């Protein structure tokens, strides 16, 4: 409990000393004050988690001091101490936010138990705050490029309204983040944000998932189910990959948008819902309409406010910011050791085309934090598909800024290609490239060459 800070305030010296002794024995970090004025001054500097505060003191009484504490730090837990407090004082202290009351003479066991309960509450509050902070970082839209600044301004303006939004963009660009930000900045932020991946739900279950069903309405409907639209009442629903909805389900979504009504499968009852719809797709819906796969009337109802989520290759100047963000996030979430990318490795990442967009970059950073043994991630640590941007890899190699790294990277590329060519058989590869087998084993170890897939061979054992 050394990290829990406690301030004890009482005008009786013997109480200060005895309470401090007990709490020090319990491994709390304790400071004391003999009156209200001194307590307020210490409180502002010490910033305690818990305060034990006498009600009756000369000068400022405990209730006035409590009010001052709650103004400075509302989440600090204050335990009142009194030998002759009445019900009115207890009620007023509770109204002002006191955690509990202790009566004089103070029981050691009651003191320890009450402080422990307050410390547990503080711990839960801190954990909850850290989780919220981590969640906020997880869903943060990172970037200072012109397209990202324009996107952030669009989100800010769109969030003020209650209009339907259609987000377009390639997979991995962060369409979900945009949807969440619109919800968080809207008047609906205190209500639920419900996400539905339309592409991940089988056609025969999508209507039940969205609109709910009655018990026995179809085979397997063993109990009544509340649909996602009803669950999102007063909040927002995010229909990801809406281009994959069946025509039948599209008609029902259109009804929700036009009438604010849902009808569960197998039910004659029509329910009113108040939901903001945010949809997203990586498909060209104009083309889907021409093919007969998407309803034109639904498209126009969704397309009230269109937002495009830019591809990473269109905002490469944001890559260093994104890398720093992901390193900080994963280091905090998983307690990874913080690492950095060398200038040469960063240059390759800036040059890469990122077909998987931000999601691909995020996954790469996490992989490097796990797999790289040193504090700096070099070009040698990057996967081959980053280095082999061209067929020969020549351009990527020429971007490496120092001879040692160039030599190591070119050796690794050469040996990996030869090992693959000869079925990962070390003996055969060593003979073919005229390199002693022991030397090849050393190179495999020092360069961190992976075996790829293993194959059975007639000669000596393949690389394992």
Architecture of the domain defined by 5-135: 3-Layer(aba) Sandwich (3.40)
CATH 3.50.50.60 for the 316-446 domain, yes or no = no
- Per residue in 36-89, pLDDT tens? 999 999 999 999 999 999 888 888 888 889 989 988 888 889 999 887 656 677
The fold of the 146-310 domain, in CATH, is Rossmann fold (3.40.50)
Question: Over 50: is that where the pLDDT of 432 sits?
Answer: yes
DSSP structural state of residue 243: G
CA distance 397 to 377: 16
Instruction: Return all residues near 14 (Cβ < 8 A) that are at least 6 apart.
Output: none
Task: Work out the percent of the chain whose per-residue pLDDT is above 90.
Answer: 50
Residue-level pLDDT at 1: 55
Instruction: Pick the more confident residue, 244 or 460.
Output: 244
Q: In 312-345, which positions are buried (b, 16+ CB within 10 angstroms) versus exposed (e)? A: beebbebbeebbebbbebbeeeeeeeebebbebb
Q: Looking at residues 310-338, what average pLDDT do you find?
A: 91
pLDDT range class, residue 461, cuts 50, 70, 90: very low
Residue-level pLDDT at 388: 58
pTM: 0.62
CA distance 224 to 65: 54
Instruction: Return all residues near 290 (Cβ < 8 A) that are at least 6 apart.
Output: none
CA distance 230 to 267: 14
Ranges of CATH 3.40.50.2300 domains, the chain:
5-135
Q: Any bridge partners for residue 167, and if so which?
A: 280, 307
Residue-level pLDDT at 16: 92
Question: Over 60: is that where the pLDDT of 189 sits?
Answer: yes
Q: What is the CA radius of gyration of the chain?
A: 32
CA distance 74 to 91: 18
Q: SS3 string of 32-63?
A: EECCHHHHHHHHHHHCCCEEEEECCCCCCCHH
- The sign of the CA dihedral 99, 105, 108, 110 is negative
Ranges of CATH 1.10.8.60 domains, the chain:
316-446
DSSP 147-173: HHHHHHHHHHHHHHS---EEEE--TTS
> Which residue shows structure tokens 């990527």?
396
Residue 255 CB neighbours (<10 A): 16
């Amino acid at each position: 409990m050394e990290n829990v800070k406690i301030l004890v305030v009482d005008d009786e010296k013997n109480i200060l000393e005895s309470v401090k002794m007990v709490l020090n024995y319990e491994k709390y970090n304790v400071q004391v004050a003999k009156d209200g004025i001194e307590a307020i001054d210490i409180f502002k500097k010490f910033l305690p988690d818990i305060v034990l505060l006498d009600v009756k003191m000369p000068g400022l009484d405990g209730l006035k001091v409590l009010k001052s504490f709650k103004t400075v730090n509302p989440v600090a837990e204050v335990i009142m101490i009194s030998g002759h407090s009445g019900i009115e004082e207890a009620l007023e202290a509770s109204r002002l936010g006191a955690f509990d009351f202790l009566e004089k003479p103070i029981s050691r066991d009651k003191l320890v138990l009450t402080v422990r309960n307050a410390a547990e509450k503080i711990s839960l509050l801190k954990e909850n705050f850290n989780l919220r902070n981590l969640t906020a970082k997880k869903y943060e839209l990172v970037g200072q490029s012109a397209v990202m600044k324009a996107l952030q301004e669009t989100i800010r303006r769109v969030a003020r309204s209650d209009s339907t939004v259609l987000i377009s963009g390639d997979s991995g660009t962060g369409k979900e983040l945009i949807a969440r930000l619109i919800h968080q900045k809207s008047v609906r932020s205190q209500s639920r944000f419900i996400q539905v991946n339309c592409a991940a739900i089988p056609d025969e279950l999508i209507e039940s998932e969205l609109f709910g069903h009655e018990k026995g309405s179809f085979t397997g409907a063993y109990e009544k189910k509340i649909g996602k639209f009803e669950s999102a009442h007063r909040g927002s629903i995010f229909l990801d990959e809406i281009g994959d909805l069946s025509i039948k389900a599209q008609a029902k979504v259109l009804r929700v948008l036009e009438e604010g009504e849902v009808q569960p499968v197998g039910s004659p009852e029509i329910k009113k819902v108040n939901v903001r719809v945010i949809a997203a797709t990586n498909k060209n819906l104009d083309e889907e309409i021409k093919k007969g796969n998407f309803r034109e009337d639904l498209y126009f109802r969704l397309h009230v406010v269109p937002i495009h989520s830019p591809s990473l290759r269109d905002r490469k100047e944001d890559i260093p910011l994104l890398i720093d963000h992901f390193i900080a996030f994963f280091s905090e979430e998983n307690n990874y050791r913080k690492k950095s990318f060398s200038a040469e490795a960063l240059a390759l990442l800036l040059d890469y085309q990122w077909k998987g967009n931000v999601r691909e970059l995020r996954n790469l950073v996490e992989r490097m934090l796990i797999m790289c043994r040193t504090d700096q991630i070099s070009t040698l640590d990057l996967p081959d598909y980053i280095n082999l941007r061209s067929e020969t890899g020549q351009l990527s190699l020429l971007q490496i800024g120092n001879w040692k790294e160039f030599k190591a990277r070119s050796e690794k590329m050469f040996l990996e290609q030869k090992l693959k060519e000869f079925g990962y058989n070390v003996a055969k590869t060593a003979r073919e490239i005229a390199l002693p087998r022991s030397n090849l084993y050393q190179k495999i170890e020092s360069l961190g060459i992976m075996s790829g897939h293993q194959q059975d061979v007639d000669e000596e054992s393949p690389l394992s």
